[in-house]
Every structure is written in C-alpha cells, then in structure tokens.
C-alpha cells in the first residue's frame, strides 16, 4: 500500500512505528530501542494486499530516517516514505509519538492536534493507548469514491502490547526481542438490506524488534457483505540498515 503502510503501523498511522531516551536537544536517540529514529536507517518491505474477491496485489514500501529538524520550535526526527509522505516523531520517557506529517501536496508539515503514539511506555505486555485510524481496505462496491476512509477519516483504535520477547521470522531474517502490538477498532456501516447496520472490525497486529523497528504488520478489515468489500494487508521486512 504505497505511501500508507507505515501510517497503518503507527496509526495503522500511522500510524505509525521505541526509543526511550529523549529526542530533544541532545544527541540522537539510542538505536537500541524498538523504533530507531536517528538518521541513516532504511527499511524495505514487501506489501501484499489480499481482497475478498480473491484479487491479490503485490508491491513494496521503503522508509528512511532523514535526521533531526525543528517542528513548532522543538526538534523532531523525520521519516520519509517512498510514497511521498514525511513524518516527524519525538521520543521521551512516555514513548515514541508522531507530531506532524506532510504529503507532497502539502506546502508545510501538518502538526498533529495531539501526539499520536506509535509505542507507549512502559514497553511491556499490557501497556495500552488510543489513537485514531481509518479504514484502509473497506470499500463500497457501487459508490464513488468507494473508499470508506473518505466518509470515516478518524476512527478510535485501542492499541495494546500483547507480548514482549517474541521472535519473528521475515524475508530479512530472524529477529528476537520483539514486541507484538495489536490495535482494535470498530466501524459501524450499512452492510446490506438484509443484515442492515453492522459493526465491522479493524484489526492491526505489528511486531517491533529491538534495534530494528517494525519488521511485520498485518491489517485485517473483513467486510463479507453485498454492499462493502474488504481484505488484508501484510507488510514484511525484506532489507534494512
């Protein structure tokens, strides 16, 4: 999902991608955390989208860290997606959070009204936080524009660190000491004339590994209705530095 894969992971959010050391006026944050911020990193992901009509789309996503810049008078760390979206993040003892975003269509970065946490401290099983997401896959079959996100741009999602110390196998290799983070939200939509209105679940699972960052993400948005279709997106790390 070019340009929005990391938005899901953080949001989606990004939505979305932890260093516990401060990312203020001192040196770069320690890269031993679960979400490296310092300049010079690059992540390549294979992205697979499986639609409910059995269509499968494959693509890729590249994210890079571009260094520290001033946003609203304070330093933040910039990440860039090859889809043309930049994100500015900060880290402090409360966790890692996004403070601004900018697409190629924006003249200036758009500050977030409030911090959007990617990972909340403490980095242990049971830690929860909330932020907004949207539907990246749900689409109406016979309306234009079909994407549900145009009519429901901000849906509350609850994220929870479900496990710590997990191992994850990806095309880039095996990674240990990983956090598994799950986000759940519900979106009430008119499914069809028989079922009527139904709560549709938005379900994200993300794995963040110490010293590496996001290595895998699975976003599920099932619809199974005559008016709406959905699917699943999977991102897997293929190369990083």
Instruction: Give the C-alpha distances (Å, rounded to integers) separating 155 from 22, 186, 193.
Output: 29, 8, 24
pLDDT in tens, 183-197: 999 988 777 767 778
Beta carbons within 8 Å of 105's beta carbon, 6+ residues apart: none
pLDDT at 174 over 70: yes
Reported as a pLDDT band with limits 50, 70 and 90, residue 215 is very high
Domain boundaries, the chain: 5-240
pLDDT at 4 over 50: no
pLDDT at 56 over 90: yes
pLDDT at 10 over 90: no
Reported as a pLDDT band with limits 50, 70 and 90, residue 72 is confident
Percentage of the chain exceeding pLDDT 90:
61
The whole-number pLDDT of residue 194 equals 73
Q: Which pair of structure tokens corresponds to residue 206? A: 């993300």
Reported as a pLDDT band with limits 50, 70 and 90, residue 169 is very high
pLDDT at 149 over 60: yes
Q: Please, what's the b/e burial string for 169-208 (b: 16 or more CB within 10 A of its CB; e: otherwise)?
A: ebebeebebbbbbbbebebebebeeeeeebebebbbbbbb
pLDDT at 145 over 90: no
**pTM summary value:** 0.84
pLDDT-wise least confident of 10-19, 66-75, 227-236: 10-19
């Amino acid at each position: 999902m070019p340009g929005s894969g990391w938005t899901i992971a953080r949001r989606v959010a990004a939505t979305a991608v932890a260093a516990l050391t401060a990312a203020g006026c001192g040196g770069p944050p320690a890269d031993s955390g679960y979400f490296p911020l310092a300049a010079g990193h690059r992540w390549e992901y294979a992205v697979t989208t499986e639609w409910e009509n059995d269509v499968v789309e494959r693509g890729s996503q590249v994210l890079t860290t571009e260094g520290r810049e001033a946003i609203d008078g304070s330093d933040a760390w910039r990440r860039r997606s090859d889809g043309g979206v930049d994100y500015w993040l900060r880290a402090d003892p409360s966790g890692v959070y996004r403070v601004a975003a900018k697409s190629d269509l924006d003249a200036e970065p758009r500050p977030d009204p409030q911090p959007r946490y990617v990972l909340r401290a403490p980095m242990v099983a049971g830690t929860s936080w909330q932020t907004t997401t949207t539907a990246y896959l749900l689409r109406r079959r016979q309306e234009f524009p079909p994407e549900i996100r145009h009519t429901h741009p901000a849906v509350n999602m609850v994220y929870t660190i479900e496990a710590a110390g997990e191992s994850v196998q990806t095309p880039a290799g095996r990674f240990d000491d990983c956090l598994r983070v799950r986000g759940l939200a519900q979106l009430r939509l008119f499914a069809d004339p028989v079922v009527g209105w139904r709560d549709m679940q938005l379900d994200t699972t993300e794995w963040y590994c110490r010293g590496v960052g996001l290595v895998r993400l699975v976003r599920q948005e099932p619809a199974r209705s005559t008016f709406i279709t959905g699917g699943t997106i999977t991102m897997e790390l293929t190369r990083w530095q």
